[in-house]
Structure 1
Amino acid sequence: MCLESETKSEEETRSRRAVQRAIGVQLQARSDIDAQHELERRRDFLCRVMQESGQTTLVLGISGGVDSTVAGRLAQLAVEKQREQGEQGRFIAMRLPYGEQQDADDADKALAFIQPDEVLDVNIKSASDTLLESLENGGMTFDDVHQRDFVLGNVKARQRMVAQYAVAGARGGLVIGTDQAAEALMGFFTKYGDGACDVAPLTGLSKRQVRLLGQELGAPDALVNKAPTADLESLAPQKLDEVALGVSYEEIDDFLENREVSERAFDTILTTYRRTEHKRRLPIAPD
């Protein structure tokens, strides 16, 4: 009986690891990276996309987190390389607060580090609130204040992308996304909000690998090691991602990098991955 139980446990473990590997491959995750090589590869990727698309500008919203800090610096390095090669290239960083941003100092630190060619400051509060008010005037109702706040959070994310695409459209630009493998795995982004972009230079990186690139770039430690927060819920400002996800980034990264994770973490991650599959797909069309 003990032997049968041990064999069954080993089979279950192998099965879980196989699922981990398959998902990691799908999300282009890797166990180990060379930080300097990845920085150069992803910078050159941005250059190549600009050249192939004929667009001359990169646009990105800077929140003050490590993802937008790393992506923003990569964008600036890419356009500087373009100019060194005699090509046109310009990076526009956007501040996109909703009212008063509680961690505005972090966004300022990020911009000081990135040194973008241009900074636009666009407050999305009025546009977001007006849209929600118009929905309610049109007959939209909510179950409670928490559901209303959740919907408003997604409206904020989509208003930010509307603003970035307005700038990109006016300046011949491409919108950069900050999605990395950890957020992709958990579906932790707003569909057609921060999940909408033209180019995603952080694709395939775990959260700890993004931090590693930030360290290699020389970003401030306070930004590299900052506890991540989407900060979309007005009723729960600065709510940590890990609280919302129910699992730590350490466990998410271990899952992506094909390292051993607890059964609880595995089940939470896999359930969330399957539940958010629609976010990672193109619009569903008839067969």
Structure 2
Amino acid sequence: MGVQLRSRTNVDARHELERRRDFLCAAMRESGQHTLVLGISGGVDSTVAGRLAQLAVEQLREEGEQAWFVAMRLPYGVQQDAEDAERALAFIQPDEVLEVNMQAGSDALLEALESGGLAFTDAHQRDFVLGNIKARQRMVVQYAVAGARGGLVIGTDQAAEALMGFFTKYGDGACDVAPLTGLTKRQVRLLGQQLGAPAELVDKAPTADLESLAPQKLDEVALGVSYDEIDAFLENRDVSRPAFDTIVTTYRRTEHKRQLPLTPD
């Protein structure tokens, strides 16, 4: 699995930062696009990816090319950890910040579905569906900005989330470029430290924060296994039997998320 997800046991943080910044530069040159777009949540993944994006566009501008980074704030109503998002933006120093509140649009879509006849078994199923709507609406908004600005949308997927399928299909799993690919959660934190990101963000307990009935629910609670155990699995280190079983079962169950659409032979 680690080979498929391109994870490695050890990385050199400085080298990886340069390599992944240069990857973003090359992607812009090859695509002919001149803008990068990324939603900033206040977590370590978007903080590291956002700073890499800003470094990439600055590098391109030094070389005489047109390049711009648009960071986006995409809260649903009032974000409980909004201070972390603001702290991340202060560190990233993006060229531009756009904010779009996703609540009205997400709620309206869910209400339209219900008006059209969609029924839910209970409040938790409804909340789950709304969470995926939020994630997909956020990507709709980012692609709208990319379309208006001639840009590429950045994804924050890394090896731990990819392994567990811990992303919304065609939501946060949709992007044009994924500069954190192959990194374990520990390694993303290592890159954040190398960049000089605030310790509060680097060491922050991750949360997708998509469930209205369980705000700020920790990823590790939702996954049923810790990131330390997921990273150990990816790095071919020993993990407990319960963690191993949870990881393998989840990987198999979420395989469809890592594949292109099925087509007939």
TM-score bracket, normalised by the shorter chain, equals over 0.9
Aligned counterpart, 2:255: 277
Which of 208, 212, 217 is residue 195 of structure 2 equivalent to?
217
Instruction: Report which of the two has the higher share of helix.
Output: 1
Residue by residue over 1:24-62, the C-alpha shift from the partner in whole angstroms, topping out at 9 and shown as x without a partner, is: 000000000000000000000000000000000000000
2:5 is aligned with 1:27: yes
Corresponding residue for residue 199 of structure 1: 177
SS at match of 1:250: helix
- 1:237 alignment partner in structure 2: 215
Mapping for residues 117-196 of structure 1, pairs under 5 Å: 117-196=95-174
Report the AA paired with residue 128 of structure 1: S
Aligned to 1:13: none
* Aligned partner (choices 67, 87, 92) of residue 114 of structure 1: 92
**Counterpart AA for 2:65:** E
Whole-Å Cα distance in 1 between the matches of residues 166 and 217 of structure 2?
13
CA distance in 2, matches of 1:200, 1:155: 21
- In the alignment, the residues of structure 2 paired with residue 39 and residue 258 of structure 1 have an alpha-carbon distance, to the nearest angstrom, of 23
Name the SS for the 2:206 alignment partner: coil
**TM-score, scaled relative to structure 2:** 1.00
Alpha-carbon separation, structure 2, partners of 1:264 and 1:143: 30
Measure the CA separation in 2 of the matches of 1:194 and 1:91: 18
Amino acid at match of 2:8: R
Give, in whole Å, the separation in 2 of the partners of 1:138 and 1:64. 36
Q: 2:46 aligns with which of 43, 61, 68?
A: 68
**1:205 is paired with a residue of what secondary structure?**
coil
- Structure-2 separation of matches of 1:146 and 1:49: 40
- Correspondence 1:100 to 2:78: yes
SS of 1:189's equivalent? coil
Q: Given the alignment of the two structures, is residue 267 of structure 1 paired with residue 240 of structure 2, yes or no?
A: no
Map Cα deviations across residues 85-129 of structure 1 (whole Å, 9 max, x no partner). 001110000000000000000000000000000000000100000
Unaligned runs of 5+ in 2: none
Q: What is the rounded CA distance, in whole Å, between the counterparts of 2:259 and 2:53 in structure 1? A: 26
Could you tell me which amino acid in structure 1 is paired with residue 122 of structure 2?
Answer: D
> Partner amino acid for 1:163?
V
- Once the two structures are TM-superposed, the CA of residue 264 in structure 1 deviates from its matched residue by 1.1
**How many residues are matched?**
265
* Secondary structure of 2:2's aligned partner: helix
Structure 2 match to 1:253: 231
SS of the residue corresponding to residue 91 of structure 1 reads strand
Residue deviations 1:201-253 (CA, integer Å, cap 9, x gap): 00000000000000000000000000000000000000000000000000000
TM-score normalised by the chain length of structure 1: 0.92
1:183 and 1:88 mapped to 2: Cα distance?
Answer: 33
Stretches (4+) displaced over 6 A: none
**Whole-angstrom distance in 2 between the partners of 1:150 and 1:218:** 36
Structure 2 counterpart of 1:12:
none
Give the aligned residue type for 1:161. M
Deviations 1:61-82 (A, max 9, x none): 0000000000000000000000
Is 1:57 the counterpart of 2:25? The answer is no
- What CA RMSD, in Å, does the superposition of the two structures yield over aligned residues? 0.3
Distance 1:135 1:62 in 2: 28
5+ residue gaps, structure 1, are 1-22
